[in-house]
Each structure stands twice: as C-alpha cells, then as structure tokens.
Amino acid sequence: MDRSIIDKQFRRVPRRPQSSQQAGFEERVRKAISGQHFSKTLDITPLIIEHGQVTMSMPVQPKVYQQMGYVHGGAITSLLDTATGMCAVTLINEDEMTLTTELKVNFLGPGEGDTIIATARTIKDGAKLLIMEAEAMAVFADGSTREVAHMTTTYIRIPRSPQD
Amino acid sequence: MDRSIIDKQFRRVPRRPQSSQQAGFEERVRKAISGQHFSKTLDITPLIIEHGQVTMSMPVQPKVYQQMGYVHGGAITSLLDTATGMCAVTLINEDEMTLTTELKVNFLGPGEGDTIIATARTIKDGAKLLIMEAEAMAVFADGSTREVAHMTTTYIRIPRSPQD
Amino acid sequence: MDRSIIDKQFRRVPRRPQSSQQAGFEERVRKAISGQHFSKTLDITPLIIEHGQVTMSMPVQPKVYQQMGYVHGGAITSLLDTATGMCAVTLINEDEMTLTTELKVNFLGPGEGDTIIATARTIKDGAKLLIMEAEAMAVFADGSTREVAHMTTTYIRIPRSPQD
Amino acid sequence: MDRSIIDKQFRRVPRRPQSSQQAGFEERVRKAISGQHFSKTLDITPLIIEHGQVTMSMPVQPKVYQQMGYVHGGAITSLLDTATGMCAVTLINEDEMTLTTELKVNFLGPGEGDTIIATARTIKDGAKLLIMEAEAMAVFADGSTREVAHMTTTYIRIPRSPQD
C-alpha cells in the first residue's frame, strides 16, 4: 500500500471551510469564556483562538492542588474541557450551541510547573456530533515542558433557543 | 443457562474482606480530603465513607457555573474524581498511595438543583489497579433528584515513600 | 442527607414505559442479530431479551484467541457491543435505527472458561442519545464465574429510511 | 507565550531511544501476530512495523459485517486493538509482556471500502503503563480514503514468566 495513503492518518486540518455563519467565532469564544464563572474560579484564559483549534492556559496555584501538592485531575480535566468547549464554539453556527456528551482523559504526568496549557483540536466536525481531542502540558519557569494529559470528547449540536 | 449465573453481574460488593492494614480508612479519607485545596475551592464534603463505597457532596453555586448557568462539566468531573479517589483510599494499605491513570464520563443531564452528590463504588479491587465507577445526581430543594453523570476510572497503586 | 436519596443512584430500571411503537422488540432483536454476519462469525447468540436489558453469549474457542490462548480483547468488546446494540433495539421505535458513537471498555480479568456472557442495560434512554453499560463474565464448566470486562457506550438515534 | 512551546503538543515521536533489549521487535511482532487466532479469523496483517508506530490492515468482507452491511464496530475495535497491541510489543523488553487495561473508541464514519487500515502510535512510553492512540481509515478501490474511528488505550507492562 502506498505510504502516502497511510500518511493521511492523524491529520487534524479543518474538514470544512469556515462558513459565513461561523464568522465572528473569536468574539463568540471570548464572550462565552467571560460568561463562565468556573473558568474565572480557575483563572483559565484563552491564548490562541483559531477555526477548529484553541489553546487555553491555567496558572498552577494552591487553590487547584490535590493533597500531594499537584494540580487535581479534576482541574486538569476542567481546563481540557474548557479548551474543547471553546473549540466547539469556533465550529458551530450562530444559532447553535453544544452540550458535552462524554469525555475521556488519560493522565500522562503530574500537574506541576508554572502554568498548564491545553490545546484542543478537531477530530470530526460532523452534522450532529463534534469529536475533539485536547492535550495538556505543564510549562515550567525555564520554558521546559512536560506532558500532563490527553483527552477525547464528544459534543452534540443543539439549536439555540431565542432567549439563550 | 441458569438465571442465577447472569444475576451475578453488576454486583458491587467488596471483593475482599477488609484487611487490618486498611483499618482506619475513614480517618485517612478525612485527612486526605482536608488536605485537598481543590476540594475546598469547590466546597466538596464527604457524606458517607464505607469500605469500597464513598459518597461526596458539592453545593450548586455560581463559582462552578458554565456560561448557561449550569454546573460546569469539569466541576462535575472533579466531584466524581474526588469520590472515586477517596473510595480508592478505603481500599489501599497504609504504605500505599494511588494515581489516577484514566477517567471517562458520560453526561446524563444538566448540573442543577441545590446540591450535586456523587457516589463511587468498586468494580475491581486488583493487586495493581483499582477500577471504579461513580454516579452524580442533582438533588433539588424538594428532595427530588435527577441523574447528572456516570464515570468509570482506573487508579494504579504505588508505594508511598516515607516522606509522603 | 436522607440515605434513601443516595440509594436512588445506580438504579437501572426502565426510565419510560414501553410504548406501543416499541412492541415487538424481541422479534426485531432476533431479526437484527440473525442479519449480523460478524455475530455469526463469533457464534454470538441471545440468552435474554427484555425491554432495556439484553444478555448475549459467546463460546470460548480457538478462533477468538489472542497469542496467549485467552479470548482477544477485541472479541470481548465485540460481544459487549453486540449486547448493547441489541439492547438499543429494544428501546427504539420501529422507524428508527441507532449508530454507535463511542465505547469504552475496562478489562477486569482474562477471557477464559467455557463461555463468555455479556449483559447490557440502560443508563439513559434519551430523546437523541442512548447510554448503556454492559458487563462480560467468564462462565466455567463447573458453573463458577469470573468478571472479564465492563463497558459504557453511547448510541445516537437516527431515522430509518424506507429502504433500510 | 512563545508559539514554539505550544507547538510541542501532539508530537508523537519516540520518547526514548530504542534499547538493545528491544532489538528484534519486528520479529517479535510478526511472531505475536502469527500466533493470534483472532487476527487470522479477521485476516488482519501488518503493513508497517516501526519502533513506537505500527500499521495493520483488515479486508472488508461479509464475515465482519453488521446487519446494515458495514464493518461491525467490534471488528473495527479489534483491528485498532491489534495495532496498538503490536505497537506495545515494539516498546517492551524481551522479558516483558503487556495486558490491555482499557480502551476507548470514537466512531467517525462507516466501516466500508476495500480495506480498513489502522495505525497505532505512542502517547506515553512509561515505566509501568503504555498509552497509545490509533486511527482507522477506510481505503476504497480508487485510493480515496475516509476516517472510520479513533482509539486511545492503556497497556500495563508485566514480567513474562519463563514458560510464556
């Protein structure tokens, strides 16, 4: 089999051109994240917002520690889920919203360093379901990095009712 | 096939009698949870602590909301993971600790009501791995309830070093 | 908190009464399973078919072995997925079909014995999504049993087109 | 934050140089796959065997169909799990073997075409656990392709006893 066929795997390029209905996704992501109390509780902020790929950042600080002084797995999952949720916002139309139906995290190393960053990208941009993956990485003061977690997750598109 | 054989499935009774090394697990759970900054950030408290089964509670309050006014999926996962983590503490020996290796959540309904409670119980109490499930439920002021999420997760046992 | 509230968790009773549109689900399950070449390849057969709960059986035989002489994890997953798929058939209307969107398996012990049986039951019977769990158990010649695997999975309901 | 830090994410390069103990992994993979009855039942064959990355192929044929004439999700999972299992063989020492502890699959499209190929690669090559991802793709007679499924999975390293 031609190696070029195999090399098509694991590509995460946007599957569909951005439609006019998706225009303004950056503003919608910023509005959504600023309306999230929980992201504020964890001091999560957006670093990069692109069509189908989003990077968020969370400082490593005592309020997210578990009993051993590392970032709690739930806080890491929250960062990953926030990144994929905002990535989903870049893919939906203005009259849609999304709900998380499932997520799965593999933990790769301790949540430590100065900051945890998480990048979400699109596995499938479907008519009904959005499937994403995200990866969290610890960034230390000296710029070195270490892998923390990998997530896959599914969102379902639902119509936004007028009052939402 | 004898129906009684099939009825052995989905049982979640303790697989092994509690050993003397596990004595005092309630005190160890209370110590672990009180040392968790993140649980305090979310106001998570234990309701029931048994050998192989633990129930935790988290109030529904603005600081855990997502942008639609429901509890953020990351906060729900944090509650579930705290319940399973404490359930793991009831199953390990004094000279052991555990690390989460993976978790998967299916979301069943919105995070709402007065309180979310999560009960964790044991699927497999193995020599190397602990496999758990947990379920989160919204409890409303009138005592009515609604299912919120189901999780399965794996912990690995590791030796506790003297200074831990 | 009232213990009776906590005891509502992990219940797997049918969420909705069986509608007239679901009548005849047993016949539809038997028709679906008999149309599955792959189930025949693995000699999977139904043991119990109820509204929202289904048990299937698969013999332990060389053609499903991995290199160590146990049943391959893929064959166990196939049995679990067949059980949940048939369980989904008991919950949908005549004019619907389902697609698996995701599945996650935790392996609990080796696939051995005379027969592996898998029981699927319903976690959520939703308007758009069906969420199920299933458990696989090894049954030995002497009637003793051992747990093999636990799965959670999501199906999406889709309209059946006239020619399906 | 420096974009070059973010670009470190999602890299799947070998984490550690191949040790002398891992030499001969290709031969060990070919021996393992030839000892798998289940892979033969599904006609799964290796296409590419590298240190930390393996591609396997499975023909689309009636014996793996579900009732709608597509490849059964269980057969796709079996192909993915075989690819990751053989990828694990390229990472372990001669005196080790591995057991699957969990797997999660997201289905992206129907199992169709002439052949399904699956490539597995390494997320974490740890001292105790191996975490992998794999992707399955349908290949049609004209060389066109379509994504079928994505999997993440965990293997645990265990010592091989002399008689294995």
Of B66, B99, B100, which has the smallest distance from its Cβ to A36's Cβ? Answer: B66
The CATH code for residues D21-159 is 3.10.129.10
What is the full per-residue pLDDT of chain A (164 aa) written as tens digits? Answer: 778 888 888 888 665 666 766 678 999 999 999 999 999 999 999 999 999 999 999 999 999 999 899 999 999 999 999 999 999 999 998 899 999 999 999 999 999 999 999 999 999 999 999 999 999 999 999 999 999 999 999 999 999 876 55
The complex's ipTM works out to: 0.93
pLDDT at B13 over 90: no
**pLDDT confidence band for C34 (50 / 70 / 90):** very high
Q: What integer pLDDT is reported at residue C8 of this predicted model?
A: 85
CA distance B149 to B151: 7
End-to-end Cα distance, chain D? 51
The minimal CB distance from D77 to the residues C63, C77, C107 is found for C77
Query: Tokens 């995701």 correspond to what residue?
Result: C102
Chain D residues whose C-beta is within 8 A of a chain C C-beta are 32-33, 35-41, 62-68, 71-75, 77-82, 85, 97, 99-107, 164
The pLDDT tens digits for C97-116 are 999 999 999 999 999 999 99
Mean pLDDT of B142-163: 91
HSE-CB of B5 using CA atoms within 13 angstroms: 22
**Does D163 score more than 70 pLDDT?**
no
Give the Cα separation of D144 and C8 in Å (integer): 51
CA distances to A119, A131, A144 from D5, rounded to whole Å, are 11, 25, 8
Q: Per-residue pLDDT tens for C56-100?
A: 999 999 999 998 999 999 999 999 999 999 999 999 988 999 999
| Topology of the domain comprising C19-159 | Thiol Ester Dehydrase; Chain A (3.10.129)
Which pLDDT value is given to residue B20? 66
Q: Do D154 and B104 touch (CB under 8 A)?
A: no
Map B66-91 to HEC letters.
Answer: CCCCCECHHHHHHHHHHHHHHHHHCC
The beta-carbon neighbor of D38 closest among C75, C81, C103 is: C75
pLDDT at position A7, please?
Answer: 84
**CB-CB under 8 Å, C78 with D74:** yes
In this prediction, residues B53-82 reach a mean pLDDT of 96
pLDDT tops 70 at residue D114: yes
Q: With 70 as the cut, is the pLDDT of residue D119 above it?
A: yes
Chain A residues near residue B81 by CB distance under 8 angstroms: 72-74, 77
For chain A, the residues whose C-beta falls within 8 A of a C-beta of chain B are 32-33, 35-41, 62-68, 71-75, 77-82, 85, 97, 99-107, 164
Q: In this predicted structure, what is the pLDDT of residue C59?
A: 98
Whether D123 shows a pLDDT value over 80: the answer reads yes
Nearest Cα to Cα of residue A71 among B36, B57, B85, B71 = B36
The top-scoring range by mean pLDDT among A122-126, D5-9, D11-15 is A122-126
Closest chain B residue by Cα to residue A78: B74
State the smallest CA–CA distance between residue A130 and chain D in angstroms: 10
**Average pLDDT over every residue of B11-38:** 81
Q: For the beta carbon of residue C36, count every other beta carbon within 10 angstroms.
A: 21
Q: Do C103 and D35 touch (CB under 8 A)?
A: no
Pairwise CA distance, residues B21 & A49, whole Å? 51
Residue A60's CB: how many other CB atoms inside 10 A? 18
Concatenated DSSP letters of B111-133 = --SSEEEEEEEEEEE-SSEEEEE
Residues 6+ positions from D15 with CB-CB distance below 8 Å: D52, D122, D124, D125
Tokens of A159: 């119509």
CB pairs under 8 A between B and D: 14
Distances (CA, A) of C122 to B32, B139, C14, D64: 34, 21, 7, 26
pLDDT of the residue at D52: 93
Q: Given this model, what pLDDT does residue A130 score?
A: 97
Tell me if A154 and C102 make a contact (CB, 8 A cut-off). Answer: yes
Name the band, by pLDDT with cuts 50, 70 and 90, for residue B160.
confident
**Which pLDDT value is given to residue C17?**
65
Interchain pair C102, A128: CB under 8 A: no
User: Would you state the pLDDT for residue C14?
Assistant: 62
Mean pLDDT in chain C?
Answer: 92
Q: What is the pLDDT of residue D12?
A: 81
CA distance D129 to chain B (A): 9
Q: What is the pLDDT of residue D24?
A: 86
Report pLDDT for C15. 57
> What are the structure tokens assigned to C139, written together?
């049954």
Q: Residue A15 has what pLDDT?
A: 57
Provide the number of CB pairs (under 8 Å) joining chain B to chain C: 86
3-class DSSP state of A82: helix
User: From the candidates A152, A154, A155, A158, which should be mutated to test the interface with C, based on the most C CB atoms within 10 A?
Assistant: A154
Span B30-40, mean pLDDT?
A: 94
pLDDT at B57: 97
Second-level CATH architecture of A20-159: Roll (3.10)
Regarding beta strands B96-107 and A96-107, do their DSSP bridges make them parallel or antiparallel, or are they unpaired? antiparallel
3-state SS assignment for residue C141 = coil
pLDDT for residue D161 is more than 80: no
Is residue B15 scored above 60 in pLDDT? no
Residues A128, C104: C-beta atoms closer than 8 Å = no
The secondary element (H helix, E strand) that includes residue D131 is strand D129-139
Which positions ≥6 away from C12 have C-beta within 8 Å? B10, C52, C53, C121, C122, C123, C133
| Phi, psi dihedrals of residue D133, rounded to the nearest 5° | -125, 155
Burial of A16 (0-12, 13-18, 19+ CB in 10 A): exposed
For the segment D82-108, the average pLDDT, to the nearest whole number, is: 95
pLDDT at C44 over 80: yes
The pair of structure tokens assigned to B152 is 């399965």
Cβ contact (<8 Å) for C36 and D72?
A: yes
- How many CB pairs lie under 8 A apart between chains A and C? 14
pLDDT for A154 equals 98
pLDDT digits (tens, 9 = 90+) for B102-149: 999 999 999 999 999 999 999 999 999 999 999 999 999 999 999 999
How far from chain centre, in Å, is Cα D46? 10
pLDDT of residue A164: 52
Cβ <8 Å between B1 and C123: no
Per-residue pLDDT tens digits for C109-162:
999 999 999 999 999 999 999 999 999 999 999 999 999 999 999 999 999 876
What average pLDDT score do residues D26-51 get? 94
The H or E element spanning position C33 is helix C25-34
**Chain A residues with CB-CB distance to B161 below 8 A:** none
Task: Share the mean pLDDT of chain B.
Answer: 92
* Residue C19 identity (one-letter amino acid): S
Distance from CA of B134 to the nearest CA of C (A): 9
Residue D38 φ then ψ, to 5°: -65, -40
Statement: B23-159 belongs to CATH 3.10.129.10: yes
Reply yes or no on whether the pLDDT at D16 is more than 70.
no
**How many whole angstroms from its chain centre is CA D86?**
6
pTM above 0.90, yes or no: yes
Q: What is the pLDDT of residue B17?
A: 65
What are the residue boundaries of the structural domains of chain A, listed by start? 20-159
**Which of C138, C127, C162 lies closest to C15 in space, CA to CA?**
C127
Contact list, C82 vs chain D (CB under 8 Å): 72, 74
Report CB contact under 8 Å: B139, C1: yes
